[in-house]
Chain A
């Protein structure tokens, strides 16, 4: 299918508002959510659309996130198109329910506004919340800027509901950095969004009395394992679907989003790998270094679950030195979530470039281009000395 490009309307919105606009245009059947900074703006704005009748959505103002994800499960099993939004502790509180969503193959969509996890209490951005649920069976896309916040908010619906996938999906925007920052973006016309996502027909809705179903029944040694295997296969299928939906969306908008995206990467010797808004910061650093004639580049990982290992390995295999930037800590691990995946991708494809892992920006600590330039300088040193040193490092933190 080839789609006709449509003209967008330029607007200036914060990331949270961009999500709310996308939700208005998608008009889901049910939204169940509980307020939490820095996500609250999404649901507040969406409540206006519910009150003014601009959407037909049933909005369920639940008493906690445990309840919001549970309500999503009920609504989605009943056959609805269902969305929620959350952040930080809210996602942590959803924990057991997240696995029910994926295990029941319910294509629920969550707009995640990244926030750190307590304690100590901090409302600012890091990826501990979404990385904390990386094994929960949810598709995960990360947004680079507010335009991509909007674009991914729409695409995840198509990805989740694809018959080869049928898994819950989230896209994550960096709290405050994207959620509360105004940027220019283009909105599609309402009809174009509705046409793009189409209508959702659940294959196994409740109350189809001729085809009764039970969600989440007891499943022991006999079949549990097979069902988990199917979930894993669905994740593999999602790789193609993410790429295909990104392609179709590109035809519609001129903005093509793939599983990964290189920036001045092809001829680069020294490369950083990042996801989320830091990709934009790193691009500035790349340009600065390139102006000095140093061959640096950047690999953006847009799709973290499923992890596009082959594409990542091909993009990075021949590089002289690589730094993977992680905005979350896996305490006690040798390296952190993104780096672990990158190393596994490289090694399973027969590559072993020099590589280090930098943890940055926990609890919203500012990350600026100069810090990333320093990382490139360190990669150059590692390459020339041949000494990698400690693999795990930290950016801008007191000892």
Chain B
């Protein structure tokens, strides 16, 4: 049962009602359950942030690292215990901002890690400030007049090396999300899953969405599956690009 992978006695979670993080956790648990991954053979490593809490709710051993230091910690766990399935779950701020340097170098070294990036376009936990993934002109608590810079292009970053696995998906597209997680876990190298997710409380409402449902519908309307064999995903496409 996938529920065995979640600490049910810790529910309800500290996440806001409607937050997409619950979907990511459930899909991860379902995939792990299907693959026979559990506390005997897997670990979930997380950084600090709303996403970081996910590791604490999973019924496997884990490390709650410092904000930004998630990847080197996970890489070292994998080095010391190569038989362990090491899954990293962290925020876009944690991975691409304060931990951005580690992201470049972890991708370059290509360790066998699965990285689930909760891409909610803001620093959720600290209140919804603009971060590395915030689209230009977005109004956030730290950019009331609109974000000044273009966001980092995670796909291009991941494809900078000779070997890569980059999946883009959303929490609306649950089967797609599940499949991306499954493929990423099967990938024998650094697999990065960029999950578009809604932070309704600290981002969505400010953008004019009244509910998490409205944000999910927005994802449904916006994102389309990339054609089979696509080598690059367009800005509104979901899919997987990889090179081994």
Please list the residues of chain A having a beta carbon within 8 angstroms of any beta carbon in chain B.
34-37, 40, 43-44, 47-48, 50-52, 61, 63-64, 89, 93, 118-119, 121
Contact = CB atoms under 8 A, between A and B. Distances in A.
A157 B66 CA distance: 32
Contact of B64 (A51, A52, A93, A121): A121
A35 B48 contact: no
Interface of B: 48, 64, 66-68, 97-98, 100, 123, 125-127, 129-130, 132, 141-145
A64 B126 contact: no
A61 B142 CA distance: 8
A250 B236 CA distance: 60
B66 A89 contact: yes
Contacts of B68: 64
A304 to B, nearest CB: 26
Contacts of A36: 126
A35 B66 contact: no
A51 B64 CA distance: 35
Contact of A63 (B66, B132, B142, B145): B132
Given A44-B129, A89-B66, A121-B48, A35 B98 contact: no
Contact of B130 (A50, A61, A93, A119): A61
Contacts of B123: 35
B141 A47 contact: yes
Contact of B145 (A51, A61, A64, A119): A51
A44 B206 CA distance: 14
19 contacts: A34-B98, A35-B129, A35-B142, A36-B126, A37-B125, A43-B142, A44-B127, A44-B142, A47-B143, A47-B144, A48-B144, A50-B145, A52-B144, A61-B130, A61-B143, A63-B98, A64-B68, A89-B67, A121-B48
A210 B196 CA distance: 53
Contact of B97 (A44, A52, A64, A93): A64
Contacts of A121: 48, 64
Nearest to B52: A121
Given A37-B126, A40-B126, A51 B144 contact: yes
A52 B139 CA distance: 13
Contacts of A35: 123, 126-127, 129, 142
B120 to A, nearest CB: 14
A40 B143 CA distance: 13
A63 B123 CA distance: 11
Contacts of A119: 64
Nearest to A118: B66
Nearest to A37: B126
A43 B129 CA distance: 10
B97 A47 contact: no
> Most B CB atoms within 10 A — which of A40, A52, A119?
A40
Given A35-B129, A43-B129, 8 more contacts: A35-B126, A35-B127, A47-B143, A52-B144, A64-B68, A64-B97, A89-B66, A89-B67
A44 B144 CA distance: 9
A44 B98 contact: no
Nearest to B134: A61
A61 B67 CA distance: 17
B132 A47 contact: no
A40 B123 CA distance: 11
Contacts of A37: 125-126
A269 B64 CA distance: 48
Contacts of A52: 144
Contacts of A47: 141-144
Contacts of A63: 97-98, 100, 132
A119 B68 CA distance: 14
Contact of A64 (B98, B130, B143): B98
A228 to B, nearest CB: 30
Contacts of B141: 44, 47
B129 A40 contact: yes
Nearest to A67: B98
B61 to A, nearest CB: 15
Contacts of B132: 63
> Most B CB atoms within 10 A — which of A50, A52, A61?
A61
Contact of B127 (A34, A40, A89, A93): A40
Nearest to B147: A61
A364 to B, nearest CB: 17
Contacts of B143: 47, 51, 61
Nearest to B127: A40
Contacts of A64: 68, 97-98
A116 B5 CA distance: 32
A68 to B, nearest CB: 11
Contacts of B129: 35, 40, 43-44, 61
Across the A-B interface, give the 9 residue pairs with the lowest CB-CB distance, nearest first.
Answer: A51-B144, A35-B126, A51-B145, A64-B98, A63-B97, A47-B142, A40-B126, A44-B141, A35-B129
Nearest to B67: A89
A233 B164 CA distance: 55
B65 to A, nearest CB: 9
Nearest to B48: A121
A64 B131 CA distance: 10
Nearest to A46: B142
A35 B64 CA distance: 19
> Most A CB atoms within 10 A — which of B126, B142, B143, B144?
B142
B213 to A, nearest CB: 27
A95 to B, nearest CB: 13
Contacts of A44: 127, 129, 141-142
A149 B143 CA distance: 26
